[in-house]
């Protein structure tokens, strides 16, 4: 399983509709409003790398009023209590 985290900025006054729309997308597991300079922190899980590319470019980046994204891929999970999340 692949996990991608995305920090996103939206046009002012549109973070809520961006957040709702992104939460509807396939593969998206969590969407949070966060403090700081970004509006949203998004967690997406995939079964293969090609899906990540399709998700970012065909779905996420077409959400209206999304302004900028920074993506981080997880390549390891620490700790035991996360059990079956370990790849």
Residues binding a second copy (CB under 8 A): 2-5, 12-16, 19-20, 22-24, 28-38, 40-41, 49-50, 52-53, 56-58, 61-62, 66-82, 85, 87
Residue 79 tokens read as 């700790």
Count the neighbouring beta carbons within 10 Å of the beta carbon of residue 6: 21
What is the CA 25 to chain-centroid distance, rounded?
Answer: 10
Cα separation values, 53 from 4, 16, 65, 69, 73, Å: 11, 24, 20, 14, 12
Instruction: Report, in Å, the least distance between residue 72 CB and a second copy.
Output: 4
Length of the chain: 87
> What is the smallest separation between the CB atom of 9 and a second copy, expressed in angstroms?
9
Please report how close the Cβ of residue 31 comes to a second copy at its closest, in angstroms.
4
């Amino acid at each position: 399983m692949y996990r991608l985290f995305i920090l996103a900025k939206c046009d002012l006054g549109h973070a809520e509709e961006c957040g709702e729309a992104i939460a509807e997308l396939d593969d998206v597991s969590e969407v949070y409003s966060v403090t700081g300079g970004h509006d949203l922190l998004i967690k997406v899980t995939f079964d293969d790398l090609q899906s990540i590319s399709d998700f970012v470019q065909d779905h996420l980046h077409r959400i209206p009023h999304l302004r900028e994204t920074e993506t981080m891929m997880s390549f390891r999970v620490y700790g035991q209590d996360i059990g079956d999340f370990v790849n």
